[in-house]
Amino acid sequence: MEFLNAFIGLKDSLLDFVFPPYCLLCNSFISSDETQDDTYPQNLVCRNCWESLNILPHPFCPLCRSFLDQNLSRCPKCPQSSSLSLNRSLGVFDPYYQTLIHHFKYNRKFSIGKNLGRKLGEILKKEEFSKGFDYIMPVPLHYSRKRERGYNQSRILAEEISKTVSVPLMEKVLIRKKKTKDQTHLSPEERERNVRGAFVVRADSTLQGKKVILVDDVMTTGATLKECARVIKEAGAREVVGVTLVVVNP
């Protein structure tokens, strides 16, 4: 085992020598001491860029996008009923987050997602955002899309958040039964119609009276999170809040 570890270490050192790591965000050289720091994605992002990522100060209303005081569980300015009480995002969808999420989501750079999940989890823990919640649940992919991609990025995020805030991860209860269109170029109304009826909760779920944190990577209009929250509430959950890496146009 020691020989194997030494061999892997030598191989990584040689690769770094031949192909030195450069930051995905600023293209600067990543020094050897930075590559040993596992508090951010090794060999992918420099310490300065990682620590410079914008962080939103508070949770916000999923309807009007107003920031909410820590003591509020729902926006006092929005009497409209919404199954999703509020949302907490790490940051705004700027070019830096866009680059990181793209590499995590499509280029299999899992360390980016894991570190972003832990970063978000630490904020939730510090704010006591997750206090009193029973489960953390990832927004599911349709089985055909998961088969194509090989993984669900929201599940990776949810797992890291779960470990950080010590709230159990609940999987395979919320199911995506309909393969929806890509939402990128759809209007807000089209997004809502696209995801309507796309999710279902297993009949044998134990959600009655429970409080659930719903995890996704990006919140745009919130249509997906709201539809997931709707069926979770219909299954008996008392409260559902959203947690995402980023929000578009807050």
Q: Terminus-to-terminus CA distance in the chain, angstroms? A: 50
pLDDT, tens digit (0-9, with 9 covering 90-100), for 174-189:
999 988 877 877 888 8
Determine the angle formed by the axes of helices 110-127 and 95-106, rounding to 10 degrees.
120
pLDDT, tens digit (0-9, with 9 covering 90-100), for 23-62:
999 999 888 777 667 778 878 999 999 999 999 999 999 9
Rg (CA), the chain: 19
Residue 13's pLDDT is what? 47
pTM of the prediction? 0.88
Q: Give me the residue spans of the domains in the chain.
A: 1-52, 56-247
Q: Model confidence at 1, in pLDDT bands (50, 70, 90)?
A: very low
Which backbone phi and psi does 181 adopt, to 5 degrees? -70, 160
Helix (H) or strand (E) holding 241: strand 239-247
56-247 to CATH, choices 3.40.50.2020, 3.10.20.30, 3.30.1330.20, 3.40.190.10: 3.40.50.2020
How many angstroms separate the CA atoms of 235 and 219, rounded? 23
Tokens of 225: 């999170």
148: helix, coil or strand? Answer: helix
